[in-house]
Amino acid sequence: MQKLILFIVIQMLFLAAFAGSDKPAYQLFDREGQPASYEELRNAAASSEIVLFGELHNNPIAHWLQLELSTDLHAHVGSDLVLGAEMFEADNQVILDEYFGGLIMERHFTSEARLWNNYDTDYRPLVELARENGLDFIATNIPRRYAAMVHRGGFEALEALSEEALTWIAPLPVPYDPDLPGYKAMLEMEGLPAHGTENFPKAQAIKDATMAHFILLNLPENGIFIHFNGAYHSNNDEGIVWYLYEYSEINPEVLTISTVEQEAVDELQEAHHGLADFIIAVPATMTKTY
């Protein structure tokens, strides 16, 4: 009997030790670092004109929430939802449109559109959500070869492009503030390659400018444009956000979302406060998509 009682006590202590030890896959926080709900995020997005969903490219939680939020926004505004993404370069818009219009097969689209390696798992669900519901999907990023030109020769290098090529980038001359903290930090990154000159952040800026340009160009009059980009492109209201307000005379309602990884997600690390209107904290041990 004493052994039985001892066994029961040990079991109770064991269970007590693990009581409340749930392992959440993520936790949402607001800009001030206070816990937030998905409902709050959804409602805020539904009342915005532009939603910039900043992801960590290999994070499955971010990609899942992108699909969930896009689906909910479609239910809210119907055909007045437009999707767009950094992962598609502007000169591939015609291929996207041909695929959406049923003119070409998916295998032709995927073989010619210079898709990212994680397209099937992470971005195809978003593309198919748009295609199946008759929504526009906008390729917003500058062709990578032109970003490379800026990296080598600054914005001036783009002046040699043809008129057709210039339609795939933000209008020249491109405004640029080298003192924005995000761009300054790029020059201070550890392990910066030897060719990381002052043109390094300019190559980032031409991407930000081009994405902002195509978002505004395709902004639905009474709807929502949800855009998917790496978090660095919109963190701290810089990058795309800065260019949206630089280019726009109407000051659109912009909602920003960022994704961060932490050892634990019960509290938002102070360094992540203020990154965006909503911050998705994901355990650092979360499985990656690549």
pLDDT on residue 17: 42
Strand-pair category, 35-36 with 224-230:
unpaired
Domains annotated on the chain, with CATH: 24-283 (3.40.50.11550)
Query: What six digits make up the tokens of 212?
Result: 């902002």
pLDDT one-digit tens code per residue, 185-235: 998 875 555 455 889 999 999 999 999 999 999 999 999 999 999 999 999
pLDDT digits (tens, 9 = 90+) for 38-68: 999 999 999 999 999 999 999 999 999 999 9
Q: Are 228 and 126 in contact (CB under 8 A)?
A: yes
The pLDDT tens digits for 146-191 are 999 999 999 999 999 999 999 999 999 999 999 999 999 998 875 5
For residue 84, give the nearest of 114, 124, 126 by alpha carbon. 126
At 141, list the tokens.
Answer: 């990023």
